[in-house]
Chains A and B, each alone.
Chain A
């Protein structure tokens, strides 16, 4: 697209940016809603209470306890290029749920619906128009899932994790923890012990999910953490596109979000997972903001399967996130497209892992990092080709854009190859927005701020193209708002 074609759209969007100037973090409101929550603290008792509150079967409680006991033995990880103030796990309440839990969507507290409306999430009537099935998670519980009937007709299961544990225990038992084991890492172990809810998706053999599925996460209550767990299973030949969005109110404290997402793709299945992460990033001085420690992993178990991760990370005080693909099946494909933007004092250490095990497996990584203010933005990735992965192929591209003199942009790619027929390529560049580009735009009467947002948009285009349409628009706007005040 040429700049000329872009101009009207850019100008319109810029009016919105200007409007957003005053509010900065749009999603920063707090919904005054009564919540039930567990007292702060973490112990075996809390884990048991949590499990009991959710009416879970014995095996689930045991599974949690096993994870908790393992977590106790693990040291906090320090390898990431992040500066993390020690987290007091005893000060967090591990469960907060809106009182008056609804039986169906119609009974949902209007205040809650209003909250989601403000966020632009189609939960109710609007859902039908938008044509996206939504599971909304408010603090620790899922408050409603739309379009269930339509999905059930084709055999797709889309519900909250708690419901899945009750209704489909055999599926949950078979797949939960099979991609990210309880003891996988510090935060995954913590999540396994205390996860409160999340989404569960099951696409049966040969079914192409008729609509996009979406989960919207919202942290509302103070002094709580959110620990959700998502499990998506696509059977032979199934296809699904899943979107995830998240926001939180502006608070001075650092709230913890430690999620686990597991994807399982059987033969010829195709899973596309898109995230727009907009947790509260903290203020200019780095006060408050969400600590986002997420373990996401997809397992291409079947031959010819494909898992594609797309993420736009603009929020969170700290992001620690490495969506990965285990390419077990022959000719399976893994993809990772990422835009990570940090501003003020945000820190991000994000990237991916591609583990090539099957023959003829392919992976592609495109990562775009943008750092502004006093932030630190790192790409950390691993491409591993095991002995048996004949003909494995990887291409990685990591570009970083620096805006300002006090930020940092870093790249840490690991490449480990044990197969002589594999081809692994990595390319990375770091630069600032070139004066020539800026001058070109300025000479054509475009303000500096608009020029920067245009250039950034072009820089990220490769990734935005992978996002579903509605998300791409949202992502673009988010980026502009997040970069507000970065220039000059």
Chain B
């Protein structure tokens, strides 16, 4: 303990602050950086969905049949469903730690708009879950005899789609953060909203295998992402306020 503790009397008088002005970008980056550092220090949480994804895809050829034709036919749906479940698996912890240690109340009490700060948290979730899943998927596609020409489409569709999944899922995570066992409820809440993303995501890969045009599917995935990007942060902010109010 140092002798300087509590030496406060020399400070200037208390000043009042006007309406909050800038600082939003600073707050956004600080939240992004803090969450990245936090997750990178708890690597097991980052690795869990990736390991889950790899295990599920590895088991299918063993469990069904090594027949390449059969595997090619089911590969797009399989890869997409496994990636979707892997992303869902990691959602529960999105706001949980913040809720438990009191940082969530502090986040709600900053003069900055909560929606933007929530977006920073979702961005971290995508960077450390959705993006790695998208990059990993072509590698696992090899195991399912996915034609080489569709690797790019698979990665792009997953990258676009998983961003929507993170945004939509975060609404569910925000709604269930106050519940001690919100995991099942979270899945029930967000799975119906995941279905359009799944249909067009898997559809894009399917189209790439058959040599059809993939742009339509990717464009719809992009449109879904744009919509989620605009609406989800507001819904997340409102959900967090409801959860904290409970």
Say whether A and B bind each other.
Answer: no
Q: Give chain B's interface residues, CB within 8 Å of chain A.
A: none
